[in-house]
A and B are shown apart, each in its own frame.
Chain A
Amino acid sequence: MLGALLQQIVSGLAVGSVYALVALAFSLTVRALNQINFATGELFMMGAYVGIGFTVTLGLPFWLAIPLTAIAVSVIGVVFEKLAYRPVFKANVSHPARLHILIICSTIGTGIFLQNGAMLLWGAQALPFPKVFDQEPLSVFGALIPTEYLWITAVAIALMASLNFFLQHSWIGKGMRAAAQDRETAALMGVRLAAADSWTFGLSAGVGAVGGLLIGAISFAYPTMGAGYALKGFTAAVIGGLGSMRGALIGGLLLGLAESLVIALISSVYKDVVAFALLLLFLQFKPSGLLLKPVQRRV
């Protein structure tokens, strides 16, 4: 019993760290532009397929595929920012609420396009990933812990830490944070807003893509995989506080743990209900999440 529980906890943390990456992808665009990118799940899915492309088709090692996938999907993210987001943002529409709806529609369109593009390119059936981590499972308290889970958690946390470092200390990251806080003032201080937005979309796409690559390593890649992870990732972001980096990590790990504990203690049937219930509870009672301060409601 203890062993099985331990195994569930480790796998929960691994899946949770992938949720954390998706949560971070959501939080980056929300923080900078107060806008949810509804194609986040599909960029995540692209990560899995592009990763298969690098490891299987080109035969590159997995550790090299991680940065390459991140860069490749970031480019896709930037291209879509230029083609689908910026022109809508620029189109002069009378009312901000409408602009918001238009951008939601446009990012949904992007998602539909990517999902069906993947279906055309790689087929609708699930593609398996090659076995990347071929070490023997670790034996702890009689439980066999596959090393994949530990690697996934480690890579995800390392990525988030380095991204945090980039945002805090690099010249580009500082510009992005300034633009996120106050666009007009940042522009006056010499931050190029268009560049900051491109970096935001690119980083968001790249982070999500690494999530897709990592989950692909213990699962399959298929064109519709994005929707479920997007919902879980968004839930994780809301739990931690949408827009917060640490919140994304904490929310992701908590959601992953909650799911695996429900599987271990109750039944796997209710696994997907956990995320919904938590999402609705948090939206209703604590929409600012665990880490952020509640926003003053402006009438």
Chain B
Amino acid sequence: MKTYLPLAIGILLLSFLPVLGANPYTLHIYSLIGIYAIVAMGLNLVFGYAGQISLGHAAYFAVGAYISALATIDLGLPFWAGLLLAGIAAFIMGFVVGTPSLKLEGSYLGMATIGFGEIVKMTLVNWEAVTRGPTGISRIPHPSLFGYSFGTPTAKYYLVLGIGILAFLVYWNLVRSHYGSRFVAVRDSPKAAAAMGIDLQRTKVMAFAISTAFAGIGGSLYAHLNRYIAPDAFGLGESINLLIMTVIGGMGTLAGPLVGAAIVVYLRETLTMLKDYNMLIYGLLLMVLMIFVPRGLVGTALLFWRRT
């Protein structure tokens, strides 16, 4: 009961957020935070729990967004089918890319994932017959379920919240499960894990593929929320943003991705006030946070909580 209480309070608070004087702009931002939180939860499985690196997750976010947008526009499929296809396609791609890549370690793995990420971006730009090239896809339909169209910002917010809660439950149960504890074993003592009969390579690849499925689902939501997507939004910069969310929130902490997503999206929106100094401050903040809050905000808060 005790473990479910914070979750219930959190869901309740988030459900009332639109009632507490939110305007269309802030609702859009809240929805974006929800979407990025879904992606960051997946990434946390890779970074935080399995201890591996990916610097190319924007690619799977892009695959989800494009698959879902093209499925609904060109194939005329309903939104839920696009969402599912996005998750499945990203999972398969994560599995296919992860199988050779995760034989590598550390920085080598990081560079390999950058390479695959750039290949996806180049494909999106050059395969004009399908992806519409650099101009991107516009007029992506609103998400709809059972004949109800989520046309308003409030409706979209609740949709993201609903799917976000589902994603969180999957992620939470995975982390607590017997299977999820393999990730931690592979990270903390690969030798012992291998001796216990855990297939290291397969475990890493599964953590990676599950995280890319999360990214695909997030991408699909992003496409239908924004209603416009273009290859530019899915480059190395976006992969780095996703990485930063996970790290700032706190790698290997349950709530880290949620906090990290909220902070990075909020920072990106407010720092634009600084105009030209925007990214300069962003880079500086990143350096400062790595030095002073290496466990991430949630990790540091937990440490503080346990001490007192």
Contacts and interface: CB of A to CB of B under 8 A. Distances in A.
A125 B98 CA distance: 38
Given A105-B290, A119-B276, A276-B118, A112 B282 contact: yes
A113 to B, nearest CB: 3
Contacts of A115: 279, 283
Interface string B155-188: 0000000000000000000000000000000011
Contacts of B277: 116, 120
A4 interface: no
A261 to B, nearest CB: 21
Contacts of A140: none
Contacts, number: 124
Nearest to B236: A227
B77 to A, nearest CB: 32
Contact of B284 (A30, A108, A113, A242): A113
B191 A299 contact: yes
A95 B251 CA distance: 11
Contact of A280 (B116, B290, B294): B116
A131 interface: no
A112 B268 CA distance: 14
Contact of B279 (A88, A95, A116): A116
A158 B107 CA distance: 29
A279 B115 contact: yes
B276 A120 contact: yes
Contacts of A119: 276
A159 interface: no
Nearest to A273: B122
Given A35-B107, A93-B294, A283 B115 contact: yes
Nearest to B118: A276
A85 to B, nearest CB: 10
Contact of A112 (B107, B119, B283): B283
Contacts of A283: 101, 104, 108, 111-112, 115
B283 A102 contact: no
A95 B107 contact: no
A105 B247 contact: yes
Interface in A85-102: 87-88, 91, 93, 95, 97-98, 100-102
Contacts of A102: 247, 290, 294
B284 A109 contact: yes
A287 to B, nearest CB: 6
A183 to B, nearest CB: 17
B64 to A, nearest CB: 22
B104 A287 contact: yes
Contacts of A105: 243-244, 247, 286, 290
Q: In terms of DSSP, what is the predominant structure of the interface of chain B?
A: helix
Nearest to B291: A87
Contacts of B286: 105-106, 108-109, 112
A284 B100 contact: yes
A229 interface: no
A184 to B, nearest CB: 20
Contacts of A279: 111-112, 115
B115 A276 contact: yes
What band does the interface of chain A fall in when counting residues whose beta carbon is under 8 Å from B?
Answer: 35 or more
B47 interface: yes
B282 A280 contact: no
A117 B285 CA distance: 14
Contacts of B243: 101, 104-105, 108
A36 B200 CA distance: 24
From A112, A114, A120, name the one whose CB has the most chain B CB atoms within 10 angstroms.
A112
Contacts of A273: 122
B106 interface: yes
B133 interface: no
B110 interface: yes
Contacts of B118: 231, 276
B193 to A, nearest CB: 9
A34 B300 CA distance: 27
Contacts of B295: 93
A83 interface: yes
Nearest to B190: A299
Given A113-B283, A116-B279, A280-B119, 18 more contacts: A30-B107, A100-B106, A101-B251, A102-B247, A104-B110, A108-B244, A109-B286, A115-B279, A116-B276, A120-B276, A234-B111, A238-B108, A238-B111, A276-B118, A279-B112, A280-B112, A283-B104, A284-B112
